[in-house]
Amino acid sequence: MKVSHQSGRSNFANLRAKNFGIAMRLVVGLTVAALSSLAMPNLAYGRDLPVVRPAMDCRDLAGLDIYPEGGSPARINSATLERSADGIPRCRVEGYVAPQVRFELRLPTENWYQRFMYSGCGGFCGRVDFRVRAAEGCSAVENGEFAMVASDLGHSTPEGNADTIWAAGNRQGKIDYGYRGVHVVTLASKAIIEIFYGQAPAYSYFNGCSDGGREGMMEVQRYPEDFDGVIAGAPVMNNTANNTIFHAWSARHLFRADGSPVFSEKDLRVLHAGALAACDLAGDGIRDGLVSDPFSCAFDPEVLLCEAGDSGKCLAGEQVAAARALYSGPIDSSGRRLFFGRPIGSELAWGGPNPVAYAAAFVRHMSEDEPREFDLDTFGFEPEDLRRYNSLASIFNATDTDISAFRDAGGKLIMWHGLADPGVPAEGTLHYYNAVRERLGTSTDDFLTMYLLPGVGHCGGGHGPDRINLVNAIMAWVEDGEAPGAIETVRREYGRVVQSRPVYPYPSVATYVGHGDPLDGTSFRSSTGN
């Protein structure tokens, strides 16, 4: 067991609070139990420690100025006693960290088991959003047992993810979004927790998906002492590439110059059926409508090209060429591959909104310090273009594979990704995972594992079992040293479980045993035989 007392993780010896001449010391602890809905793997959870109750009245937090060691000054604007939608009593704290990183911290008043969790943001953030991912059936989350925080990362954009006006000429705003915001809010939150309960959290966790996954990876790489455990789902680690060349390339091949779609819904069903015919058996060994190992399967949409007189179950030449380009990903004029493509098996999700909005928003206001023009027709994929798109990559990208400091601090990292994610290629997560293993060797297994979910879209959805509980797994790993193994995933329709399946740490794949209901997870075992 590792208990964290290091500076930056939970050391606030110099903590000061305006109007209160208090300085408090920290202790440790924790507990949680959670079972998923079906009798399969996934029963591990964290250490059982006693509830700690508040050491002061919630309302007395209002108006405090907080000065966490190693962090930035913060102001608590309000502190209100309330009940959650489930009737759980808590103290809702709202405030900001200088210069203007807003946060909301939810502090249980009757059932705090000494855990802290940061809930990551999505898109380009800009809102305080509590969406706790990968927590299916986790009682600690459902019962409100965590001190939970979320932040807008320094800007307010409630109208949607494609609004990046806030970043125009705003280097500090870019930095707060890129990496600083999570860190300073984490330090401020731990300081407030120490004041409120009289002790700091025993264990600290980060949980996010999409940009939230990137935020978690940024914490691992830049601030390895902040969290004991990190869950990073579908992380947009190469933020500059994903939000420029990947989305622009997708827009170029999904929509014509006049804005009309290249593929109708019927066309995408034809393409998806062709992909399944070629790749459905890969990995799991059963035709179940899910591609479990798209990386080992080759599919050329040329086989779907219509011949003279064909119609209905084939594709036009324009569509075959577009599908090839989307699978391959962006390339330059010399044919050099620049980034990853859309995965085989994700075709039914290609009919969504035009991804050009993300590329335009990023290029116009985030790729450089000052605003610049964006035109999809003239958007470039050459080296000089890439240099412009990546001019602030050191702020936005979480691609450093040397995460030995996180390992040495005792941290644990679980990465996960849906294999049918059309917006953030899972191949990028796999590439990063393999690069870390190559750099750090077998020690990687002591602190990093990864799960790939067949048929699952971006942070959920799709046609595969997309509900998973990784919160229990990370707690068991951090608190009891129990490394994650098989994890149950389920798919629900109208609240009812209609499919279950285990997933295993990469590179193992859930393989059909040859008999039994393919919708029942007990009909599968690890491809390694375990």
If you ran DSSP here, which 8-state letter would residue 179 be given?
Answer: I
Residue 310's pLDDT is: 73
Question: How far is 44 from 370, CA to CA, in rounded Å?
Answer: 50
Q: Which CATH architecture has domain 58-237+398-526?
A: 3-Layer(aba) Sandwich (3.40)
Where are the domains positioned within the chain? 58-237+398-526, 242-394
pLDDT confidence of residue 528: 82
User: What's CA 355's distance to the chain center, in Å?
Assistant: 19
Sequence-distant (6+) residues with CB within 8 A of 330 are 245, 246, 248, 249, 337, 338, 339, 341, 381
Residues 6+ apart with CB under 8 A from 226: 8, 9, 182, 183, 186, 187, 204, 206, 219
Residue 337 confidence (pLDDT): 97
Structural tokens at position 312: 């209905």
Question: What's the gap between Cα 459 and its chain centre?
Answer: 7
| CA pair distance 273, 291, nearest whole angstrom | 11
The b-or-e profile of 176-190 (16+ CB within 10 A means b, else e) is bbbbbbbbbbbbbbb
What does 150-175 look like in DSSP terms, one character per residue? EE-TT---TT-TT--GGGTT-HHHHH
Three-point CA angle 141, 194, 180, nearest 5°: 75
What local confidence, expressed as pLDDT, does residue 45 receive? 75
Dist. CA 476–CA 205, nearest whole Å: 12
Tell me whether the omega of the peptide bond preceding residue 507 falls within 30 degrees of 0, making it cis: yes
Burial 275-297 (b: 16+ CB within 10 A, else e): bbebbbbbbbbbebebbbbbeeb
* Crossing angle of the two packed helices 211-222 and 181-197, in degrees rounded to 10: 80
pLDDT value of position 48: 87
Q: Are 369 and 168 in contact (CB under 8 A)?
A: no
| Burial class of residue 331 in the structure, from the number of CB atoms within 10 Å of its CB (0-12 exposed, 13-18 middle, 19+ buried) | middle
Contact 338, 386 (CB under 8 A): yes
DSSP state of 456: B
pLDDT at 21: 35
Task: Give CA separation, 406 vs 1, 152, 191, in Å.
Answer: 16, 25, 22
pLDDT tens for the 530 residues of the chain, in order: 333 333 333 333 333 333 333 333 222 232 333 333 333 455 557 788 899 999 999 999 999 999 999 999 999 999 999 999 889 999 999 999 999 999 999 999 999 999 999 999 999 999 998 999 999 999 999 999 999 999 999 999 987 778 999 999 999 999 999 999 999 999 999 999 999 999 999 999 999 999 999 999 999 999 999 999 999 999 999 999 999 999 999 999 999 999 999 999 999 999 999 999 999 999 999 999 999 999 999 999 999 999 876 767 899 999 999 999 999 999 999 999 999 999 999 999 999 889 999 999 999 999 999 999 999 999 999 999 999 999 999 999 999 999 999 999 999 999 999 999 999 999 999 999 999 999 999 999 999 999 999 999 999 999 999 999 999 999 999 999 999 999 999 999 999 999 999 999 999 999 999 999 999 999 999 998 55
Q: Token digits for 292?
A: 């479990």
Q: What is the reported pLDDT for 33?
A: 32
* Bridge partners for 452 per DSSP: 417
CA angle, 12 then 90 then 143, to 5°: 105
- Nearest residue to 108 (alpha-carbon basis) of 100, 96, 116, 118: 116
Q: How far is the C-alpha of 520 from the C-alpha of 38, rounded, in Å?
A: 10
Alpha-carbon distance of 95 to 426, in angstroms, equals 36
> Where do runs of H (alpha helix) occur along 159-238?
171-175, 181-197, 211-222
Q: If you ran DSSP here, which 8-state letter would residue 431 be given?
A: H
**Cβ atoms 256, 319 nearer than 8 A:** no
Q: How far is CA 474 from the centre of its chain?
A: 14
**Per-residue confidence (pLDDT) for residue 132, from 0 to 100:** 95
CA separation for the pair 364, 359 (Å, rounded): 8
